[in-house]
Amino acid sequence: MLNQNKVKIKKLKEKLVILNKEQERLVKELSALRLIISEINSGSNLNKILNLIIEEAVQIVEAERGSLMLFDPKKAELYIKSAVGLSREVVSAVRMKPGEWIAGWVFKEGKPLLIEEGAKDPRFKEFKEMKEELRSIISVPLKIKGKIIGVINADNKRKDNIFDLDDLQLLSTFANQAAIALENLRLHQEIKDQLKEHTIIYKINNYINSTLDLKAVLIKVVKLIRKYFNYLICDVLLLDEQKENLYIAASDGYSAESRRNIQIKLGEGVTGKVVATGKPLLVPDVTKFEGYISSEKEVRSEVAVPLKVLDELIGVLNVESTKLNAFDKQDLRLLSILSTPVAIAIQNARLHQIMKNLAITDGLTGLYNFRYLKGRLEEEAKRAQRYKRPLALIMADIDCFKKYNDTFGHLEGNRVLKSLAHILKVNVREIDIVGRYGGEEFIIILPEANQEEAREIAERIRLKVEKYKFINNKNQSDEKKLTLSLGVTSCFPEVIAPQGLIYKVDQALYQAKRKGRNRVEVI
């Protein structure tokens, strides 16, 4: 009887030891998980959480070394994200495909694995340098909603510390709980990222809608997108008036000079393909993209999305990187969201510019109208007098235009006015202001031009008109010829009010008419 009691007591003690051991393990696991959850709730970043997970995993199973490996879908390989007891060189160097070695097998099969004697296991035959080092290994998968995202590894090289099935079960349970914590962190981070993303989109939308100046809108778009989302290069490309080519309307990340005259035909390159198809494009490696148009920088990857307003395609929003696989579906989604407010802002600015131009230009010739000319002349006269700079004025009138209209009709007369407007624009300097004063009279304001320079420009215009074939490019008889009389004046060194300038140039024009027409007179 006494012996039986001793046996029972012994068995109970053994059970108690086992229970105590299980309780210790459970306490370890719960403490580790509590610490991880606490770090997540405190707002710690992903890297810190991953480091904490592997540190706690190593402690739970009393391992000497451990690593947490994540799967990189772009490269289709596992890499070490966090480690304990491994050198930086090893962490940087270790890469493996699914199915390769222990961790690769666990990732591929989705099952935990215990190896009690690593040196004797046939799976180590390709790793001779590790045979003497590793004695015992545990590798368990990290699963989130049934999807394996990585592997936790723990190993020992001491003979007196070999892992068993209890350790395998403990690390598997811990990995499952850690995966849940990671998923919660991911969801939390996703919400934070979405909030940040929406805030940035809201800011960009407000910024680009704070002005109706098209150039300012375009510059703001590329600068803000590049700033907030850390893109290396950002471009806005717009379709030309003929809708045949794209031109770079704004760019940030390249030198302005290198992007100035680039024209891309529809269907060519990444952006041309986007316009041709009307669909966004994510290009991980541009060297593999057929028909890629190279640039001054060694671009390796690119994302381009169409800019549309009410299904009308107006251009492309484009980002580039010198890194391979720099972009993913998240970038594509983000740029697609941004493309709508960007396209609307561009279109609003364009419409504003059109309305502004209609208010200041002549409907027939496209030149500035009388109202605009009057305002600009006042501005230029004040500037010239304040800074003691030269300012000249040309007034031109078509000779015998009434007779021409009576002979050939007003439609032909209108065609002449348009042609003359073109001649005037292409024969003056870039800074000169050309406008229709009324009827067949035109005025040219010439900032920074003295009287002689203005006279030379007027004479050049007179000769161009005299030689121009206005009627269907056929030879003209004398009665079908058109000529121009021009008057020239200036206000420096004299101080003359704008109305005084108009009076003087009108008198000069009158003299040109009185002296036989088709000539330039200066006062």
Q: What is the extent of the structural domain holding 148?
A: 24-189
Could you give the CA distance from residue 220 to residue 197 in angstroms, rounded to a whole number?
18
pLDDT of residue 473: 41
Q: Is residue 17 part of a domain?
A: no
| Per-residue pLDDT tens digits for 442-462 | 999 999 999 999 999 999 999
Same domain assignment for residues 344 and 481: no
Q: Is residue 206 part of a domain?
A: no
pLDDT of residue 38: 60
Name which of 2-6, 370-374, 503-507 the model is least confident about: 2-6
- pLDDT band with cut points at 50, 70 and 90 for residue 8: low
| Per-residue pLDDT tens digits for 227-242 | 888 899 999 999 988 8
Is the Cα torsion angle 500, 506, 511, 512 positive or negative in sign?
positive
- pLDDT band with cut points at 50, 70 and 90 for residue 478: very low
Average pLDDT over residues 71-89: 89
| Per-residue pLDDT tens digits for 355-374 | 888 889 998 999 999 999 99
Domain boundary, last residue among 358, 380, 415:
358
- 467: its two tokens: 């030689």
Residue 19 has pLDDT above 60, yes or no: no
Same domain assignment for residues 380 and 305: no
Same domain assignment for residues 260 and 292: yes
Q: Is residue 298 part of a domain?
A: yes
Q: Is residue 218 part of a domain?
A: yes
Same domain assignment for residues 336 and 374: no
Same domain assignment for residues 320 and 412: no
The number of domains in the chain is: 3
- pLDDT band with cut points at 50, 70 and 90 for residue 336: very high
C-beta pairs of 85-94 under 8 Å, 24+ apart in sequence = 85/58, 91/67, 94/67, 94/69
Could you give the CA distance from residue 321 to residue 507 in angstroms, rounded to a whole number?
63
Residue 254 CB: number of other CB atoms within 10 A? 18
- 429: its two tokens: 């300097």
Is the Cα torsion angle 358, 364, 367, 372 positive or negative in sign?
negative
| Per-residue pLDDT tens digits for 33-51 | 555 556 555 555 667 878 8
Q: What is the CATH number of the domain that holds 268?
A: 3.30.450.40
Same domain assignment for residues 320 and 346: yes
Cis peptide before 122, with omega less than 30 degrees from 0? no
Q: Are 474 and 454 a contacting pair, CB within 8 Å?
A: no
DSSP string, 292-358: ----SS---EEEEEEEEETTEEEEEEEEEESSTT---HHHHHHHHHHHHHHHHHHHHHHHHHHHHHH
pLDDT of residue 332: 93
